[in-house]
Amino acid sequence: MLREPNPAKMPRFDAVVANPPFSYRWDPSEALGEDARFKNHGLAPKSAADFAFLLHGFHYLKDESTMAIILPHGVLFRRGAEERIRTKLLKDGHVDTVIGLPANLFFSTGIPVCILVLKKCKKFDDILFINATGPDHFKKGKRQNQLAPSTSAT
């Protein structure tokens, strides 16, 4: 169903929420570079399919819809293909919010993560950045940290 070749029959979603495997290694073919999901942005590198998961979900959003995806913090800084994809998303105005989260929030990994919020038809030129990595934003645990409850709405 998601690989529907007819664009008129392709499903579109009001919201996409994703927590894909971090820095999953994959082996994209040259033909995949022409796939509608990746054609306008480029392919994620073999070493990390993070942006492949992002672009896959983003492709199926309705025009006025929102996507939130949890990714390793490194997607904000890595160079090469990921930098080109990130730059295209920024220039096209699709990045709405970037939320930096502290390390040790997930059982499966100790690395810091981020949540990227994307919109197909963003109405403003600005991007909201939230740095939730400081000591006021999380409670340190023995094995795992926990996000702190919000104390004020700012």
pTM of the model as a whole: 0.83
How high is the pLDDT of residue 1? Answer: 46
* Digit-coded pLDDT (tens) for 90-144: 999 999 999 998 877 776 777 889 999 999 887 667 899 988 876 666 566 566 6
Instruction: List the domains of the chain with CATH numbers.
Output: 13-132 (3.40.50.150)
- From the list 119, 30, 144, the residue with the least C-alpha distance to 69 is 119
Residue 154 pLDDT class (50, 70, 90 cuts):
very low
* Digit-coded pLDDT (tens) for 38-85: 999 999 999 999 999 999 999 999 998 999 999 999 999 999 999 999
